[in-house]
Amino acid sequence: MGVRLCVLVSGSGTILEALVARGVTVSLVGADRPCRGLEVADEAGVEALLLDRAAYGGFAAAFDRERYSSDLAHALRERGIDVVAMAGFGTVLAASFHDAFPGRVLNTHPSLLPDFKGWHAVAQALAAGVRETGCTVHVATVALDDGPILAQRRVAVAPDDDESRLHERIKAAERELYPAVVTRVMAALDEGRDVSSVVREMEEL
Active site residue 109: yes
Q: What is the pLDDT of residue 92?
A: 95
- Going along the chain from its start, the domains and CATH numbers come out as 1-102 (3.40.50.170), 107-205 (3.40.50.170)
> What's residue 201's pLDDT?
74
CB 16 within 8 A of CB 38: no
Q: Is 38 left (phi over 0), alpha (psi -120 to 50) or beta?
A: alpha
Rounded Cα gap, residues 126 and 130, in angstroms: 7
For position 154, what pLDDT does the model report?
96
pLDDT for position 203: 59
Position 195 scores a pLDDT of 87
Q: Report the pLDDT value the prediction gives residue 153, as an integer from 0 to 100.
A: 96
Cα–Cα distances (Å) from 45 to 10, 39, 81, 194, 198, in that order, read 18, 10, 17, 29, 29
Give the C-alpha separation, 65 to 144, whole Å.
14
Of residues 98, 109, 138, 167, which has the active-site annotation?
109
Vertex 136: Cα angle to 130 and 141 (nearest 5): 120
Check if the beta carbon of residue 17 is closer than 8 Å to that of residue 35.
no
pLDDT at 185: 96
* Kind of pairing between the strands at 132-139 and 149-156: antiparallel
108 three-class SS: strand
User: What is the pLDDT at residue 128?
Assistant: 97
User: Residue 145: its pLDDT value, please?
Assistant: 92
Q: What letter represents residue 154's amino acid?
A: R
pLDDT at 205: 55
Note down pLDDT in tens along the chain; length 205 residues: 699 999 999 999 999 999 999 999 999 999 999 999 999 999 999 999 999 999 999 999 999 999 999 999 999 999 999 999 999 999 999 999 999 999 999 999 999 999 999 989 999 999 999 999 999 999 999 999 999 999 999 999 999 999 999 999 999 999 999 999 999 999 999 999 988 888 777 755 5
DSSP string, 138-183: EE--SSTT-S-EEEEEEEEPPTT--HHHHHHHHHHHHHHHHHHHHH
Torsion angles phi and psi, residue 63, rounded to 5: -50, 125
